[in-house]
Amino acid sequence: MVGGYRVVTLCGSTRFREAFMREQKRLTLAGCIVLSVGLFGHSGDGEVWAEGTKEMLDDMHKRKIDMADGIFVINVGGYIGESTRSEIEYARRTGKDVAYLEPPA
């Protein structure tokens, strides 16, 4: 916690941009400090695909998980891709809480 506020990192496929925005707003209004993705590669931010950028962003997202009390997985329709799966595993290994938008399969 920071200053009495729970810190939450959003994880999930960047194809779910609208769900990320909706949950960021909801969690912020609930009194959480929300860390999210900086670019939405699967929703039009083509810079993600430049050489080395995706790897940097993936590592940076793990550092955001390090700073958080837990993660909130944006799993619209139950979808959890490979990158998100690795973030969930990382969060669990490092003792973070894991919550989901939709119950996991």
Please give the class, per CATH, of domain 6-100.
Answer: alpha beta
Q: Does residue 43 register a pLDDT over 90?
A: no
| pLDDT at res. 55 | 87
pLDDT at 92: 98
Q: In the predicted model, is pLDDT for residue 52 greater than 90?
A: no
70: β partners: 8, 97
At residue 40 the predicted structure's pLDDT band, cuts being 50, 70 and 90, is confident
Other Cβ atoms within 10 Å of 36 Cβ, number: 19
Domain boundaries, the chain: 6-100
Give the pTM: 0.91
pLDDT at 54: 80
Identify the pLDDT of residue 45. Answer: 64
